[in-house]
Amino acid sequence: MAHFWFQKIIDDGKRWAALPLAGSSYQFTDAEPFVRRAGPARADREALVRIQQGGIEQWLLLIPPTIPLWVNGRQPLLGAHVLTERDEIRFRTGLRLYFSTERLPQVVAFPGGSREMCCARCRNPIARDTPAVACPTCGTWCHQTEELPCWRYPGSTQCPLCDQSNDPEAGFRWTPTDL
């Protein structure tokens, strides 16, 4: 799920926190977490709108000409910008948000498909509705049941096909603190 990174104010300063974008449209605010769900886009306000087509999710940032807002140091041409991984949105106040589409691995019911799919670790077929994990980095599926704990296989630390951590507590691979 796409999310924004924002600096959360805590007792001893600030730290980066992720705000999941579960709705279909948002507007920016002056109060933490600086983004809130919104109704239909208005011509006098900036808006962030989810566009889904053919299973692909994209986020469109719409900015009226009167709103001083920059994406990666530039004002978007024609008042619109399709957000991509790690885009920085900066406001006149100096507030910075970072957009990310990185997902965390999670156990879900395997959705199945038009053809049989095999687990990347054990190479056995994965039955529809069986608990499994799709690697957020490479997209490969692994069983995750008591009998077949392939994603969190004992002794392993990552996906069988890439370097994505299989530790459920690992968190995101990238945060703005890396900048």
- What residue ranges do the domains of the chain occupy? 3-100, 104-169
> What average pLDDT does the segment 80-90 reach?
96
Architecture of the 3-100 domain = Sandwich (2.60)
Residue 4 pLDDT > 80: yes
Closest to 67 in 3D by CA, of 97, 89, 35:
89
Greater confidence, 159 or 78? 159
Retrieve residue 90's tokens: 């900066």
Which residues are CB-contacts of 146 (< 8 A; sequence separation ≥ 6)? none
Kindly report the average pLDDT of the chain as a whole number.
Answer: 91
pLDDT at residue 53 above 90?
Answer: no
To 5 degrees, how large is the angle CA 146–CA 149–CA 153? Answer: 140
